[in-house]
Amino acid sequence: MNVTVILNRQHVRDNMTITTLATDFQVNGNSASANLEVMDKFCYLGDMLSVDGNADAAVKARIRIEWNKFRQLVPLLTNRDISLIRRGRLYSSCVRSSMLHASETWPVRKENDVALQRADIRMVRWMCNVKVKDRVPSKELKD
């Protein structure tokens, strides 16, 4: 089986570098050709995968999903008529679980972990109506 690969062009679409390859190959004496697109990252089963194998794209996508879910539930999560314990349970079951979905398969680095924690604590502060200038430690909010 002979395979010839020729780089045709490289362009950017939707913040992804896409390389188009032209391939010519022979199988059992029959020749054929095809154009293949090689992408640097893509969505597979709702999770962002990248060519280099890191989880940066997946973490960014999950943080965006977490913020969307949080914004949908803001009327409940910031309601003073609902106890803080119930709001915390709602936050854990709906918002935090959407952020951590399928995270056990990510090759997480320290930067990814910090980004996830930062997004999480910002939402908890918003839910508790605590500003950074109030100087309440994050550890105290999580308890």
Q: Which residues contact 78 (CB under 8 A, 6 or more apart)?
A: 126, 127, 129
Are 115 and 61 contacting, i.e. CB atoms less than 8 angstroms apart?
no
Higher-pLDDT residue of 88 and 40 is 88
The rounded mean pLDDT for the chain is 79
- Tokens of residue 134, six digits: 């109030």
Highest mean pLDDT: which of 51-60, 109-118, 133-142? 109-118
Do 50 and 107 meet the contact criterion of CB atoms below 8 Å apart? no
- Going by pLDDT thresholds of 50, 70 and 90, the confidence category of residue 74 is very high
Provide the pLDDT confidence category of residue 16 given band limits of 50, 70 and 90.
low
Query: The pTM is what?
Result: 0.67
* pLDDT tens per residue, range 82-127: 998 999 999 999 999 888 887 877 888 899 999 999 999 999 999 9
Using 50, 70 and 90 to split pLDDT, how confident is the model at 11? Answer: low
pLDDT at 68: 94
Q: Name the residue ranges covered by the structural domains of the chain.
A: 2-39, 47-142
Q: What is the DSSP letter of 72?
A: H
